[in-house]
Amino acid sequence: MMENVTVMREQAMQWIKEASAYIHDSFQSALTIDTKSNASDLVTNIDQEVEKLFINRIRVAYPEHAIVGEEGFGDEIERTDGYVWVIDPIDGTMNFIHQQRNFAISLALYIDGKGVFGIVYDVAANDMYYAISGEGAYMNGTKIARVEEGYLEQAVVSVNATWLTENRRLDHEKIAQLVRRARGTRSYGCAALEMMYVVTGKLDAYMTPRLAPWDFAAGAIMANEVGVIATTLKGEPLSILHKSGLLIARRGVHEDMLTNYIVCKE
Ligand code: 2AM
Ligand code: CA
Ligand code: CA
Ligand code: CA
């Protein structure tokens, strides 16, 4: 089984390289841009084509596996039984469109609801992050060190600026207090990469009010391998069946933010 997992992970990385080459080529041609739930919820033809590329590859290699992808070309699942691939073909679509950087491919395999491996690929920087459950996490082939406990006063926290205005889900005045106490704040607009920055110690925490399984499925496996805590904003475990908020942080910072600053209104 372990051998099999390694083969599958290597195969998935090949598909990611293929998808990356396709995305790089797309920089030469015009994008078709549409909106989804609101004016800043964007999708391009490349998001859709890259998702189809992964689904085609997985269907040929593993026809019996389920696939959950953001753009809807995969399967709808209600249970986590068996093999489930969870894919975000382009995480950070707004960055992809406006900046051609700070976006990623996120791909994970779960078996019976448990993370087996997760891969996040920073397409513009050519950084490959992956973890196999129980075997550690790697960045560009080098093992990532365990992330130690920390303190909010020394923490760089990634938050979205919209949180500082009136917010339906969180108490924005508490978030303002958090921002004042932290050493600094950043905002990158790519959930999978922000998770990788916490996993590699470049950020100490990242919080966001609403993500989908394809945003955090790979990152959660990476976090687990280095001792970083990833939960919902209520401190509950993440599930590949449900959308939820996300708080990912090193020990100490996670507990402090959860108990003192994150007051969920719903
Ligand atoms: P996406 O680019 O794949 O949609 C910043 O917006 C981060 O939040 C990105 O990782 C983005 O993923 C994610 N996100 C999740 N749900 C979103 C939504 N409804 N609109 C915009 N971004 C969303
Ligand atoms: Ca999207
Ligand atoms: Ca996403
Ligand atoms: Ca996406």
pLDDT the model gives residue 170: 83
Residue 17 neighbours by CB under 8 Å, 6+ apart? none
Residue 36 main-chain phi, psi, to 5 deg: -110, -105
Question: pLDDT tens digits for 187-233?
Answer: 999 999 999 999 999 999 999 999 999 999 999 999 999 999 999 99
Kindly list the structural domains of the chain, giving each domain's residue range(s) and its CATH number in brackets, ordered by start: 2-143 (3.30.540.10), 152-260 (3.40.190.80)
Q: Indicate if ipTM > 0.90.
A: yes
Asked if residue 88 belongs to a known ligand binding site, the reply is yes
Residue 37 in contact with ligand 1 by CB distance below 6 A: yes
Asked if residue 215 belongs to a known ligand binding site, the reply is yes
Please determine, for residue 239, whether its predicted confidence score (pLDDT) is greater than 80.
Answer: yes
pLDDT the model gives residue 3: 62
pLDDT the model gives residue 1: 58
Residues 102/124, Cβ–Cβ less than 8 Å? yes
Q: What's the rounded mean pLDDT across residues 55-80?
A: 97
Name residue 47's amino acid: D
Percentage above 70 pLDDT, the chain:
98
pTM, 2 dp: 0.97
DSSP states of 20-46 as a string?
A: HHHHHHHTTSPPPEEESSSTT-EEEHH
For atom 11 of ligand 1, which residue has the closest CA? 92
Question: pLDDT tens digits for 75-129?
Answer: 999 999 999 999 999 999 999 999 999 999 999 999 999 999 999 999 999 999 9
Q: Which ligand is nearest to the CA of 211?
A: 1
Residue 41 in contact with ligand 1 by CB distance below 6 A: yes
Residue 209 in contact with ligand 1 by CB distance below 6 A: no
